[in-house]
Structure 1
Amino acid sequence: MKSVLSGIRIVEQGTFITGPCAGMMLADLGADVVKVESPTGDPYRSYQGGQFSPHFQAYNRNKRSIALDMNAQPDRVLFDDLVRNADVYIQNFRPGTADRLGAGVQRLQALNSKLIYCSISGFGSTGPYAERPSYDSVAQALSGFLSVVVDPERPRFLGPALADAITGIYAAYGVLGALFERTRTGRGRLVEVSMLEAMAHFAVEPFAAFFALNQAPTSRDRPRLAQAYILRTADEGLIAIHLSSLEKFWTGLLTALQAQHLAADPRFATRQARIEHYEALGAELDALFSVQTSQHWAMRLGQNDVPFAPINRIDEVIVDPQVQHLDLIVPVEGAHGGTRAVRPAVQFDGCRQAHVTTAPLLDEHGGVIRQSLAAGSDWPTLVEAEAE
């Protein structure tokens, strides 16, 4: 696949997820990302012991690593050399930390007026919460996102670190906009995004509903309006269905279930009635789905054009026929850890990424980068072994 960001140079000084995710999104598009770590490394490396956790691998593929001590003058000089010829700098420190490290926006843009400086924070760079520590769960809660996805009677956090990853994606989106603008102006930009702002924007639909109806949405609203259900089958499988607003999906479901008696029930006669009696319809569907296996219902629902999917475990996803058809799982080149990964989601002209490059070991490319800059390169050259 052609690397659409080939030639874009990025210095990423990110830790944990938000900054590294932003860097990974851009690296996946072909940018050359040099990850600057402290001598002890990104703390996410040792999240489950060792120095190469699966969590670190997930967000740091397609990058190079150099360890720099920002308190040591030689390393500070080398850092400055990288920044002078970079297109983008990314950090997700708490407000004030970058300035203390000599990596604040004013100093770095004084070195490089074309630099796109991306700063990611929990709550923004100013304001009453600016100094608070923020993590994924905190941002999900404060932004209102959790209120529209969690059952208030049995509240539980969602499994993946959604706020962290989503904020990283928003940061990459902002960087891309600034890079495009720079083609016209020739000037850099300060791009800022906080986890609070990213998650509030991600929940834009519930906010729009509140502003229109003056009623705070709840976690039950979206499934009820979408007529979405999770149903357990006879073999303890789970199937998700989504009837939406098209009547043909309801009639298709009735045919699949051979349950025309539900059509005669006044509680379910119209879409609005089904919305009003969402729980009652769910009970009826639970009873029907519980008498046959997941495979049986998958066949019946598919035959009748009902939007559905089994709730797959990760090990089931990788053998799914559609996933295999899309070549969604690709090899990890030079793997230090896991040998397979999910490829970038975006295709260009029908071409997909055929592999990804392993996340780097701590300071894996430090020697090559130092030698390249010492030899007078304006940017550390990718040696053949790294480029393969």
Structure 2
Amino acid sequence: MLKALDQIRIVEQGTFITGPCAGMMLADLGADVIKIESAGNGDPYRSFKTGFYSAHFQAYNRNKRAIGLDLKSEQDREIFYQLIAQADVYIQNFRPGAAGRIGADYETLSKINPRLIYCSISGFGPDGPYAQRPVYDSVAQAVSGFLSVSIDPEQPRFIGPALADAITGIYASLGISAALIERGRTGKGKRIDISMVEAMMHFAVEPFMGYFALGEEPSGVDRPRLAQAFIVRCKDDKLFAFHLSSLDKFWDALVEAIEGEALGRDERFSQRLKRIDNYDALNAELNAIFATRTRPEWVERFSKFDVPFAPINSIPDVVNDPQAQHLEMFVPVAGRIEGAEQTVRPAYSFDGEHAKTVRAAPVVNQHGGEIRSALQSNPTAWPALETETAAVAG
């Protein structure tokens, strides 16, 4: 496992994706993350489909320890405060005001630990006219403007993965990392507030700049048209993608790869700006050509030409992809009690080394017994990670 954040201690009180994703990003880099869940069934994302160990939960909670606490209980709240006193970072993604009702607000925790980096993740921010609205991924995509520039307005559909949730978690982990560096200079903790709408607006900075600089309202079809990116359907009904960008050499190579001399002579497509203006017509011509061969045939042919291309792989396709296998992207899940035996490793390599394994996401209260026991023995010390508990602790 990676050790870039070794010795960084994090208390995460997150549910669903944004908070857990932030914790996972830091845990993937070596931080010791203790996930605090409500006593009983834990994070609701555990039971997103069935049981208490959904694939969705596993995705965002690896490399962590877990303890179930009832913060309405004086005894459990004391355990929580003991952890906070020794922690470097606290992460929560409650609705504004909820943390204060359980004694987990910034004012309370910063008095316990002035060096604490406190990260609060919300939907719309800590205050304002929308602050108390319930928010999920699709709502954040919509209100931020991101959805308007990522869908076809003629056939509007949500994008599959929970992008706003995950992107917000990644932004939160970046902010936390920066605050940790600053604390190294000042010795002082800091409160970080980040919302899903802020993260997604920043993520969509390019279309916003198009609006501010050019006075144009971007749409979901602008980027493919301007970038000359195409998705075409092959003879076997499989999809194939390529991206010509602004370099004429890619257009010339494409014409040669598809044996499209007539297309190359077509006045509508003789220059890049004309190809942009006639994008739909060009797309139709290309689909007609690609319908003459299967996708494997096109892949083999394009591999001989300097065109940025790729088959649109399914997840099973990627698992068997030669480049993904060369990069060793799929690694074993260590210490698993149930669930998947392998997963996608962290994206980073440091000095040429990447993670060779990850620790399994914890089952409900998996490390509760050992954490309680360690704090009972030494209330002022962070519970050391000593064992991979193989059964639910008490």
TM-score by length of 1: 0.99
Residue 87 of structure 1 and its aligned partner are, at CA, apart by: 0.0
Answer yes or no: is the 8 Å Cα contact 2:2–2:28 preserved in 1. no
DSSP-derived class of the 1:288 partner: helix
CA distance in 1, matches of 2:159, 2:144: 15
> What are the within-5 Å matches in structure 2 for residues 213-362 of structure 1?
213-335=214-336, 336-362=338-364
Query: Mind listing any 5+ residue stretches in structure 1 that lack a counterpart?
Result: none
Answer yes or no: is the 8 Å Cα contact 2:269–2:278 preserved in 1. yes
CA distance in 2, matches of 1:317, 1:194: 32
Call closer, same or farther: CA 1:2–1:357 in 2, change over 3 Å: closer
Amino acid at match of 1:385: E
Amino acid at match of 1:357: R
Deviation by residue 1:289-312 (Cα, 9 ceiling, x = unmatched): 001010111112121111011011
Q: Which residue of 1 aligns with 2:108?
A: 107
Deviation by residue 1:150-198 (Cα, 9 ceiling, x = unmatched): 1111110000000000000000000000000000000000011000000
> What are the within-5 Å matches in structure 2 for residues 41-80 of structure 1?
41-80=42-81
Answer yes or no: is the 8 Å Cα contact 2:335–2:388 preserved in 1. no
CA distance in 2, matches of 1:24, 1:117: 16
Q: Do residues 188 (structure 1) and 186 (structure 2) align?
A: no
CA distance in 2, matches of 1:264, 1:311: 29
Amino acid at match of 1:71: K
Residue 284 of structure 1 and its aligned partner are, at CA, apart by: 0.5
Deviation by residue 1:278-336 (Cα, 9 ceiling, x = unmatched): 00000100000001010111112121111011011101101000000000011101222
Which segments of structure 1 move beyond 4 Å, counting only runs of 4 or more?
Answer: none
Q: Do residues 29 (structure 1) and 29 (structure 2) align?
A: yes
Amino acid at match of 1:17: I
CA distance in 2, matches of 1:385, 1:18: 26
Residue 384 of structure 1 and its aligned partner are, at CA, apart by: 3.5
Q: Which residue of 1 aligns with 2:199?
A: 198
Equivalent residue for 2:375, pick from 366, 373, 381? 373
Q: Which residue of 2 aligns with 1:18?
A: 18
Figure out how many residues of one structure are paired with residues of the other and give that number: 387
Residue 385 of structure 1 and its aligned partner are, at CA, apart by: 3.4
CA distance in 2, matches of 1:77, 1:313: 48
Equivalent residue for 1:382, pick from 366, 372, 385? 385
CA distance in 1, matches of 2:281, 2:320: 35
Deviation by residue 1:52-74 (Cα, 9 ceiling, x = unmatched): 00000000000000000000000
Call closer, same or farther: CA 1:337–1:135 in 2, change over 3 Å: same
Amino acid at match of 2:224: P
CA distance in 2, matches of 1:348, 1:160: 28
Q: Do residues 8 (structure 1) and 11 (structure 2) align?
A: no
Amino acid at match of 2:357: H
DSSP-derived class of the 1:99 partner: helix
Residue 9 of structure 1 and its aligned partner are, at CA, apart by: 0.2
Deviating more after overlay: 188-197 vs 1-10: 1-10
Q: Which residue of 2 aligns with 1:126?
A: 127
Answer yes or no: is the 8 Å Cα contact 2:37–2:67 preserved in 1. yes
Q: Which residue of 2 aligns with 1:160?
A: 161
Q: Which residue of 2 aligns with 1:87?
A: 88
Amino acid at match of 2:268: R
Root mean square deviation, CA, Å: 1.0
CA distance in 1, matches of 2:245, 2:36: 47
DSSP-derived class of the 1:11 partner: strand
Deviating more after overlay: 373-382 vs 236-245: 373-382
Residue 2 of structure 1 and its aligned partner are, at CA, apart by: 4.3
CA distance in 2, matches of 1:382, 1:242: 47
CA distance in 1, matches of 2:140, 2:56: 19
Answer yes or no: is the 8 Å Cα contact 2:23–2:33 preserved in 1. yes
Deviation by residue 1:63-122 (Cα, 9 ceiling, x = unmatched): 000000000000000000000000000000000000001000000000000000000000
CA distance in 1, matches of 2:47, 2:389: 24
Residue 262 of structure 1 and its aligned partner are, at CA, apart by: 1.0
CA distance in 2, matches of 1:300, 1:198: 41
Identity %, equivalent residues: 59
DSSP-derived class of the 1:241 partner: strand
TM-score by length of 2: 0.97
